[in-house]
Structure 1
């Protein structure tokens, strides 16, 4: 059994917490200097006499090595040598042993060649909960005690008050005064020489936080543990990759910090683009200094948001990544090439291609593209192709934004889309419920990817042949376009036409799937989703959508299959719910079908419908309930605000142009449009 020496000493003194015993005996008594070291050494000597090695069987070898190094230091520097070690080892270092005996203990041990590198440490990494064996639970608190020249409790509670005020808590000087009094009173009642961490936290909870533990968690994280990051001198040994990373961080003004912070990047700026490439390259090397986050306020591809936090173990990962190269660029390139050759699936290679573009690894792209083309040619599984296409299309789009030539990627993306176009209809036949749900997800992803591919090609063509070059000066004219530029324009135009044709054929394929209702059977989930995708893209008229729904919900269709069609058509959250809110005929069809479902089949249908409608927002469900409760209008459909519909709570009989006109100025302001000068124009805009 391994012995915790401080726990044994604190238990002997009647304490149940070694940290609290150390505070009372060492920190709060003002004990310091040689007296403190002497007292701790005597205590450890007594413990080792009682417990021997204390369950630390390897300590004898470690301590023999320490004594040999200590002898070397004394021969070089004299007897004035300071040793930094755990207190448990102090008695062993004072033993009178010979160098021969120590070498005998080390004889036969395997020799391993190592390199030493210093890395900056953090308070968070010193905390015991982080897994560091010799850590403490409150490094920030002890750092405060070490640096506080006087009145440590008052200074600590002032620091706590400042933190809470920064987080918009109402804390005043009076709170600090009362908290100091309460902490000192608690210390006196508990028989402690000075208020410790437990007393100060109790006082903060009672006086500053109104008994809530939520602010206390913030105090523990920011102050009790802390986010201080150490520093390493320039002369300290470091692997070449670490030195290159340090130089790059300085040139990009991107300082590693222990405190998490959010970084917004505009990829149109050279410095921000360089920062993005560095963070993506480090992620490819397994050094997750930055984590991508959702950008706020902009959905453009030229925006990136990162959450940065430097942890000490990242320095270890940098050292491990040094096997790939001596610079961040060369290491990331070498690792990308190796991963491309060893990738087992098509989706892995397409994701790697996207990461290479984001990281600006142009030298690795040829290897990745060869691997991508080889696997795409051999893989006939529609699901695998569908998983690979979205990442590949995103790569094409990111290349446009970052000024990277992605012509080869675009050709492979179009080829993958063509193969999916041919293979998807047969793959949708004879699927069970789980297979249909998975195929629906693939179909949605491919639909978005094909739309994005067409949009990217069109944007590239409209942007001209110089989307990322410097503007022309007055000395140049439109006739100064080179033959290479014309060739590029022709290539882009051909790619654009191919993408547009692909999108038209994809719509025709969806129309074919939506119209299937005989053998071989295509699941209703797939047919309903195909119809919905066409309707959202304006490729399907509302009358035709109502006709397809009527066929799917006809008496000849089994209720579970009809419910599956409904899930495919109006499933997917609030979008389907709003479609029913605004389309009276579709809601009427669903309503009449549901009423006609036989009682014996209703229990089979109910889970599907519940899953579909439970995904809608609360307001959408309430609106649908009001519309159904109102009942059908004169033409037999369920009223959703038509002119002939009777009034219902919260719903008018028609469009209220006055209320609609009131929001037009705000909408135009949000869209950056000129304000409407006259009231009549506002009314017309509302209509």
Structure 2
């Protein structure tokens, strides 16, 4: 087969490269009395249905399935009666050098591979996986994007279909959006009415088209050729075990591989004994495990790499197909008509019950009629997924499809996806990490039995065993294991709630917890190993990003202490020193300094008593922050961010200024040189190009006693009553109130200047500055707002409103007075005197 650089059209391809007789011979070569090479599209109900019919008609003697051979011991658990799909086999490998790789092999009820394995169990015939082991696939593949932090890859990746130019051209000519709709158009909806041989020939032709675009170099680079060579060797081995007169060996392979297998088997028969060999690479750890899976993770729309979009829709189709097959009822159109109607009905019910969106019966009927009409117009015997979704868009959405229709489309996509969650059979072999976590949790008196959500309160300041429990729970959170949620208590990483002495957690050990622990096994065999590996990977990412984010490095240091990884502190401290020196963002370096100070003060519960370098690193971060703040105040571009108000960047810098002031007042900040801060604040007050930051510096100096009332009042009048543009004047006021809100009622000149400024402004200017004015007073508490209101009222000669809340009045008296007021108002309106009573309620 050749691989042209510029492929011809599909018709020319069928005539020249893949002529019809050639395609017919290819399909026939897949079916023989000795061997059936059954080509499938992973998670295809059509392929599963035809495979089910093949088992009933041919009585195979052995079943072979594409998938790593190391998965074979898991077949009994995978096909056990207690096992409920969707499920997945999770595999991982840790190679020398610390490279970690992980992958998933998912199954659902209509996966042809799972159906074949279940049929083999029912018939009592041998079954095995025949692909290269995951480690071998890694060795043959030139590049990997399957690290555990990437979410792992799929071992059923079908990228060759997505990238095929021939299939894209065929989809375009068939009026389909993409190869997914093309597949459902050509295979899923006609499958129930096709003979087995015709179905196999059609799938073979489709997959041959996809393969026509793939060059030998590409297939060698991604490991496809090596995998196919290995599968061919195992198929021949299985054939050698077959006795004369037995049924055929059935090999269930992805169609992309199946179409190449007849020629490869013939070649291998001439070169017996050859098996693909890869350069030896040390494997530190590798394992496979069966875990529960979900339709949400399986759906291509959620980023899944293999399978068919909307697994819930195809589960609905599969269930109806099985119902009709058992009843012996023919009629491929009826299955899809029932699926479309039930989907539209359930969607209408969900929209009404969960979202308050009414879908009247005429709209439902119109949607059903439109789905049938679209299918007929597009040459289909029954609706496919896109026909139903188009009908929903047309009949269920009122208004713009991208505005009002978003909720409806999201609900439809969720329904098409499905919410099914699988169940793995009990008693399966679990990786060491699962057992290690269970043993540690039991030693710490955490209850892992079923029984709903439990609660635990940890006194981390006084009890060492509670600190150990806290580290376990934080470690599981780092590994993204759904087990526990901290509902209250100090957050040493974010710097919140540090006045609290206890941590409050809610936890529950569920099947999802165990599944996530299996997936986290790629990081280590024990919880400390796994947590340390995941933490080390985070540190490496910080280092790879240039170690220029001091706040992130300080957060990593705090997280390491929370996790109990004190052995990592020297490395993290070195990274933190490097980040402080390299970071040019004043607010981030300030955040780092504050985090270091909090960590030093909390060294007792975090057991970081040996981090003696912290005060030195704190001093370096503090001095670096002062230097950057001073440089920012001297930079003419320092006021360029956003408007003269400064935008988010200046908000962050103003906040950093106040955090530095708080740092100096803390226990850890007592050893710092306060003169550096006050000199910097004076410099910012006099020279910073941003009016907001000049105001923030003025407030800091006023609160610290370095700026008296007269000087602050003079500066305030200069900004508010001078020649500055109104937005800049308001920015100064906002900065001042952000750092010294007490000035609003302690400094009469402030409200007088604001009053004069507002009196001078035309209405358009006032409306333009109103958002900034609101922000200036937004942080005030209700009590502070009341004090300001009283001062403003006094400024205009207003009198006190007196007591606003009268506790001596009962609710009944209040209601009676309100009723009397309403009666008087009604009487005045009837006499034409409604205006007379206005303002006298």
| TM-score in terms of structure 1 length | 0.60
Query: How far is 1:295 from its partner?
Result: 9.1
Are 1:349 and 1:368, in contact at CA under 8 Å, matched by a contact in 2? yes
1:308-347 mapped onto 2 (5 Å cutoff): 318=520, 321-322=523-524, 327-332=529-534, 344=547, 347=550
Greater relative CO (CA pairs within 8 A, separation 6+): 2
Residues 1:197 and 2:385 aligned together: yes
Q: Secondary structure at the match of 1:83?
A: strand
Q: Which residue in 2 is equivalent to 1:657?
A: 802
Superposed CA deviations along residues 399-426 of structure 1, whole A, max 9, x for unmatched, are 6776865984774576357646975786
Q: How does 1:576-591 map to 2 (within 5 A)?
A: 585-589=749-753
1:277 to partner: Cα distance: 0.7
CA contact (8 A) 1:68 1:99 kept: yes
Is residue 64 of structure 1 aligned with residue 229 of structure 2? yes
Q: Which residue of 1 aligns with 2:96?
A: none
Displacement, 1:327? 2.9
Q: Aligned partners of 1:268 and 1:513: how far apart in 2?
A: 45
The match for 2:354 among 163, 167, 174 is 167
**Match of 1:85, SS?**
strand
Kept in 2, the 8 Å contact 1:396–1:406? The answer is no
| 5+ long unaligned stretches in structure 1 | 256-261, 458-494, 598-605, 622-637, 647-652, 666-687
* Partner deviation per Cα, 1:369-400 (whole Å, 9 max, x = no partner): 47657987999998885352133234356667
Name the counterpart of 1:141. Answer: 313
Secondary structure (helix, strand or coil) at the match of 1:167 reads helix
Deviations 1:131-161 (A, max 9, x none): 6554322222112222344753454345434
Cα distance change, pair 505–17 in 1 and its aligned pair in 2 (3 A): closer
1:152 match = 339
> Structure 1 residues 80, 400: CA separation in 2 closer, same or farther (over 3 Å shift)?
farther
DSSP-derived class of the 1:84 partner = strand
Provide Cα deviations, 1:561-597, integer angstroms capped at 9, x if missing partner. x986863452499899997799763254367689999
Is 1:353 aligned with 2:518? no
Secondary structure of the residue aligned to 1:364 is: helix
Compared CA separation, residues 383 and 657, structure 1 to 2 (3 A): closer
Cα–Cα, structure 1 residues 303 and 145, in superposed 2: closer, same or farther, change >3 Å?
Answer: same
Q: Distance in 1 between matches of 2:389 and 2:638?
A: 53
Provide the rounded CA distance (Å) in 2 between the counterparts of 1:417 and 1:8.
60
Paired residue for 1:213, among 391, 405, 408?
405
Root mean square deviation, CA, Å: 6.2
CA offset digits 1:64-116 (Å, max 9, x no partner): 33221212234457765443322243343345604255679977875666756
Counterpart of 1:471 in structure 2 is none
From 192, 213, 218, the counterpart of 1:31: 192
Hey, what does 2:106 align to over in structure 1?
none
In the aligned structure 2, how far is the partner of 1:319 from the partner of 1:152?
40
| 2:696 alignment partner, one of 504, 516, 529 | 529
Distance 2:751 2:526 in 1: 60
What is the TM-score of this pair, normalised by structure 2? 0.51
Tell me the alpha carbon deviations over residues 297-325 of structure 1, each in whole angstroms, 9 at most, x when there is no partner: x973557999x9x9999999846645999
1:340·1:349 contact (CA, 8 Å) conserved in 2?
yes
Count how many residue pairs are aligned between Structure 1 and Structure 2. 569
Q: Aligned runs of 1:232-631 on 2, under 5 Å?
A: 273=470, 276-279=473-476, 281-282=478-479, 300-301=497-498, 318=520, 321-322=523-524, 327-332=529-534, 344=547, 347=550, 349-365=553-569, 367-369=571-573, 385-396=589-600, 408=612, 411-412=615-616, 415-416=619-620, 419=623, 427=631, 430-434=634-638, 441-442=652-653, 444-445=655-656, 447-448=658-659, 450-451=661-662, 454=665, 457=667, 499=670, 509=679, 512-513=682-683, 517=686, 525=691, 526-535=693-702, 544-550=711-717, 559=724, 567-571=731-735, 585-589=749-753, 614-617=771-774
Aligned: 1:183 with 2:402: no
Which residue number corresponds to residue 416 of structure 2?
A: 224
Contact kept? 1:431, 1:523, Cα under 8 Å: yes
